[in-house]
Amino acid sequence: MKKVACEERPGWRSYAESVGFEFHTFDGEPYWDETAYYQFNLRQIEQDLEEPTEELHQMALGLVDDVIRDEEKLKQLAIPEKFWDFVADSWRNKAPSLYGRLDLVYDGTGPAKLLELNYDTPTSLFETGFFQWVWLEDQIMRGKVPQGADQFNSLQDQLEAAFANLPLANPLYFASVANSIEDKGTVMYLMDIAKQAGVDSRFIELEQLGEASGQLVDLDGYAIGGLFKLYPWEFMLQEDFASVILSSQTQWLEPGWKMLLSNKGILPLLWQKYQDHPNLLESHFEQPGQSFSAGWVRKPLFSREGANVELVTHSGEKISEPGPYADSPFIRQKLQPLPKFGDSYSMIGSWVVGNSAAGIGIREDNSLITKDSSRFLPHIILD
């Protein structure tokens, strides 16, 4: 694994905007960064990333049944009691599930270590599944990347196959909040894939969802039979219309049981069940009054994009990110620092669709905490 400097493609920003990638730059700073790429060999991809991704995925799924049968575990994950049956029923009824992303720390030598699971509202789909693949094809054609280079990336194809084969409601609505360009861009990309798979797909802003006679409805009052929502379950449960979740016949993507696997509390539960597994980091639920010592990370159960994450390096340096999750319960995870390439720390997001590994995306930052402003860089496979 290495980072290779590379010449940007001329006019890539205009092209990005023409295909809906309007969030390639945030506040004047690059989000998509093609001034360099990461290079892996095939063994690193297959043995150190692909195989552990699928094993960790199965380990996580194996915990769902444990959690829904154990009130103490549901309380540890801060799942509201009125939704316990909703979560359990979605699992027992085999409610369709689309995808997930595992965030890994990996420096090219292995074993990769699991930082967290993002199984409810993972983003960077468009960047991973489409835009970095186009980058690869363009750069090979321009002679800026060696002929024969490949990419660990079947994400778009696997998503299209999933939409074609899963037992989904028809029509299927796709929702995101109105004021997020990134979320809407991601949802529109996913909706386009669904359309290619033959799914009757319709966009609706989350704020436009309504309720009538105990059913979730659209602006015209029609019951929503199926809804993909790029909006966290823990937020959904706090909305004014939360009660309709229990009464509505809506099929949810992602299903209710995903709120267990998008919760940082799953990390100590994984450690309890699979202690000393080579791809896990020691993790525990935070105890009242517990001291915060060097070599540990403190994470809220429901944090996203690094918000409210704190860590103390092995040398004693304290690093933290602000955010809105300060009143959340916390976990502690043993620190495995991200590898540093040049001036940047890099993290790998490894995707699963169904039960199969589907590709990776790489984020980097000048801090050990990856956040929403962290850059996305493409990658290649070359032996």
- 182 contact partners, CB below 8 Å, separation of at least 6: 23, 123
Using the structure block, give the residue that is written with the tokens 């699991």: 114
Give me the pLDDT at residue 138, please. Answer: 98
Residue 166, token pair as written in the block? 């899963």
Give pLDDT, residue 190.
97
* Residue 143 confidence (pLDDT): 97
- pLDDT for 140: 98
What string of pLDDT tens digits covers the 383 residues of the chain?
999 999 999 999 999 999 999 999 998 999 999 999 999 999 999 999 999 999 999 999 999 999 999 999 999 999 999 999 999 999 999 999 999 999 999 999 989 999 999 999 999 999 999 999 999 999 999 999 999 999 999 999 999 999 999 999 999 999 999 999 999 999 999 999 999 999 999 999 999 999 999 999 999 999 999 999 999 999 999 988 899 999 999 999 999 999 999 999 999 999 999 999 999 999 999 999 999 999 999 999 998 889 999 999 999 999 999 999 988 899 999 999 999 999 999 999 999 999 999 999 999 999 999 999 999 999 999 99
Q: What is the dihedral of CA 17, 19, 25, 28, to 10 degrees?
A: 0
Residues present in the chain in total = 383
